[in-house]
Amino acid sequence: MNVVPGHNHVQRLHRPRGFTLVELVVVMAIIGILGAIGAARYFDRRGFDSAGFAEQARAMLRFSQKLAIGQNRPIFTQLNGSTVALCFANTSPCPVADQVPAVGGVADCTPNTWYCLAPPRTIAYTVSPASASTVCFTALGQPGVAAGATCNAVAFAGATINITGDGATTPVNVAAETGYVF
């Protein structure tokens, strides 16, 4: 230390700046812990699969409503627990002549030429009420319950599709009267 004449304090010499070994080891340990947690979440896809299937089901229901309005006829969305499929007729499985053509490669069912979606193996879904296992949309876009070959909009009280995966349940709802899918 250098003492400057006329001053009562000691002038300190500047040390080179940098990190100490202890600081580097602590930072590397924190990065390792975060990496181990992040890698486990990265390779576990079930939460992503559940959210992705819920969004695909919402998109199919919205498309079903728009297709019904665009083609001025009822469209039936079949929810049988293993697939979600669009059909021009209220029969399950949908006859080939009444299948809604697939758009953009979404078809996950056999045959793969119609608009059908199957959930990933780790995902399951249920529909409530049970009468909403076929949700239809009228030519005006109103949601309804399939009654034979017709779509009865008056009887529709809403529907909920509960998609389960990764220990959580994601609901997909179809509102009564408007058919709003959320």
Q: Which fold has domain 46-174?
A: minor pseudopilin epsh fold (3.55.40)
The structure tokens listed for 126 are: 């249920």
The closest of 64, 61, 85, 62 to 75, measured between CA atoms, is 64
Q: Mind listing the pLDDT tens digit of every residue in the chain (182 residues)?
A: 555 565 555 566 666 788 899 999 999 999 999 988 887 767 766 667 888 899 999 999 999 999 999 999 999 999 888 888 899 988 877 888 888 888 765 666 766 678 888 888 888 899 998 877 889 999 999 999 888 888 988 888 899 999 988 778 889 999 998 999 99
* Residue 17 burial by Cβ neighbours in a 10 Å radius (0-12, 13-18, 19+): exposed
- Angle, CA of 133, 160 and 154, to the nearest 5°: 65
pTM attached to this predicted model = 0.73
Residue-range domain boundaries for the chain? 46-174
